[in-house]
Amino acid sequence: MKGIDYDIIIIGGTATARYAAAKAAQTQARTALIEPSPPLSNALHRQALAHAAQVAHQMRHADLWGFPSTTPLLQWQTLTEWTHRVAETLNPEHSIESLAAAGVDVVVGQGTFIRHPQGLEINGRLLRSRTYLLAPVTQPAIPAFAPTIDYLTPDSLIHQPWQSLPPRLIICSNEPAGIELAQSANRLGTQVTLITEQAQLLKQADPVLINELRSQLEAEGVTIFTNFQITQIEQQENLKRVWSEDKIIEAEELLIAMGRRSPLEHLNLEAIDVQWQPQGIPVNRYLQTSNLQVYACGETLGGYAIPHLAEYEADIAVNNALSFQKIQTDYQWIPWGTLTQPEFVQVGLTAAQARKRYKAVKVLSQQMPNHRGITNEAAGLCQVVVRRNGDILGAQMIGTGAHEAIGAIALAMRSKLKVKARASRCPQGVAQLLSG
């Protein structure tokens, strides 16, 4: 097409955008990646923090292995410097330097779309493309009460100039990130209270297994309140108080993890006829927006911020933007969960969801073998939801290695294998369950 500079321009600032740019470059497509300045805040910080918290947890229980137990003295700035280094060195193939070497034109700055001639204006240049992919930076969604107080978010926590963590921390959350941070902060020595307005920690999770995770977090010392409807909140100097109808909770710090929002005003998406709202960009099953030449993926669609889910969407969006053979999204076999210890993960339908769709549903449940006993980790639990004809409808797991183990079941669902046909290819505990 005359006057077209690229096959795809990716609006970035996220790990998902860089992943998509690498994928596009592999096809030899003319690719540009728009990176804001400063560059993205890497989502790997939270995983690094969880690893440090696990070390602290093991130090407190070292007597189990014959060493003297100790209460570690946290040096917060040293820890945050380490997490920054970890985040920068992981996934080097998605660094700006690697992408540029692969042929991606990386443009640093904030762009805005214009209608005539249609394209993206940035740094005094007009860039035009056959297709566009939106994978921009999102921000934590903040409830109406929050602007009246000082608060933290999952993004800002790691950048705090503390010497140590606050004595007490309230986490208001309805998403996996809040649960993960609650465990990490507790293990690092903070008294954590986790509150959610929902009836259970994660609304879409299987109640049996998510309550098992709740029990294990409470056993470690995390205080958890569900059905907590905030009626009032106030700050007096450095102390925050949160009210419900029958409780008052106070702490030195409050962290809000209530999902993400997409502040896209600066992009002027109206100029290219893309409809959007702060809760997310509406897309069809091909990940096309209201302008069929513009695609979107990742956190900007709304829902939980789950890295491997965003990468799945990026694979489909890049393929559909660059190929005539378009692929539809199918989320039913994509696992999701928490990176807590123990891990919680599920794929497909829960038992309750399955029974609303099908008449004959069976739940196979079994405790997973505790091969991790030498590290003092609890035995896991696995349940698989099946139809009478052997179709696998979903599965849920809690335990060490759950994310890896459930991959076999997800593959079976994708391949439409019957439950017993997949048993021989699964990890031991899962195989016993499926063949039983």
**CATH code assigned at 162:** 3.50.50.60
| pLDDT tens per residue, range 253-288 | 999 999 888 889 999 999 999 999 988 999 999 999
**Domain shared by 94 and 203, yes or no:** no
Confidence of residue 166 (pLDDT cuts 50, 70, 90): very high
**Domain shared by 133 and 154, yes or no:** no
Residue ending a domain, choose from 278, 308, 329: 329
The answer to the question of residue 76 being in a domain is no
The answer to the question of residue 64 being in a domain is no
The answer to the question of residue 56 being in a domain is no
The answer to the question of residue 245 being in a domain is yes
| Bridging pattern class, strands 336-338 and 343-348 | antiparallel
Q: Count how many domains the chain has.
A: 3
The answer to the question of residue 408 being in a domain is yes
Which pLDDT score, from 0 to 100, does residue 261 have?
A: 87
User: What is the pTM for the complete model shown?
Assistant: 0.89
Which pLDDT score, from 0 to 100, does residue 435 have?
A: 54
**Domain shared by 94 and 15, yes or no:** yes
Residue 149 has pLDDT above 90, yes or no: no
Which structural domain range is residue 223 located in?
146-258
**Domain shared by 125 and 213, yes or no:** no
Which pLDDT score, from 0 to 100, does residue 434 have?
A: 56
Confidence of residue 65 (pLDDT cuts 50, 70, 90): confident
Which pLDDT score, from 0 to 100, does residue 45 have?
A: 80
What is the distance between the alpha carbons of residues 93 and 348, in angstroms, rounded to a whole number? 31
**Domain shared by 272 and 311, yes or no:** yes
Which pair of structure tokens corresponds to residue 260?
Answer: 């993400």
**Domain shared by 307 and 404, yes or no:** no
Spacing of C-alpha 156 from chain mean position: 16
Mean pLDDT, the chain, rounded, equals: 89
Residue 20 has pLDDT above 90, yes or no: yes
Residue ending a domain, choose from 307, 329, 351: 329
Residue 22 has pLDDT above 80, yes or no: yes
| pLDDT tens per residue, range 352-380 | 999 999 988 999 998 876 555 555 666 78
In which order are the strands placed within the sheet that holds 248-251? 232-236, 239-243, 248-251
| pLDDT tens per residue, range 31-42 | 999 998 765 555
Q: Residue 76: which H helix or E strand, with range?
A: helix 76-89
Question: Is-contact 256 242, C-beta < 8 A?
Answer: no
**CATH code assigned at 411:** 3.30.390.30
Confidence of residue 99 (pLDDT cuts 50, 70, 90): very high
Question: Is-contact 242 255, C-beta < 8 A?
Answer: no
Residue 427 has pLDDT above 60, yes or no: no
Which pLDDT score, from 0 to 100, does residue 128 have?
A: 97
Greater pLDDT, 185 or 72: 185
Q: Which of 23, 10, 235, 254 is nearest to 136 (CA)?
A: 10
Confidence of residue 8 (pLDDT cuts 50, 70, 90): very high
**Domain shared by 166 and 242, yes or no:** yes
Residue 43 has pLDDT above 70, yes or no: no
**Domain shared by 213 and 357, yes or no:** no
**Domain shared by 135 and 272, yes or no:** yes
**Domain shared by 159 and 297, yes or no:** no
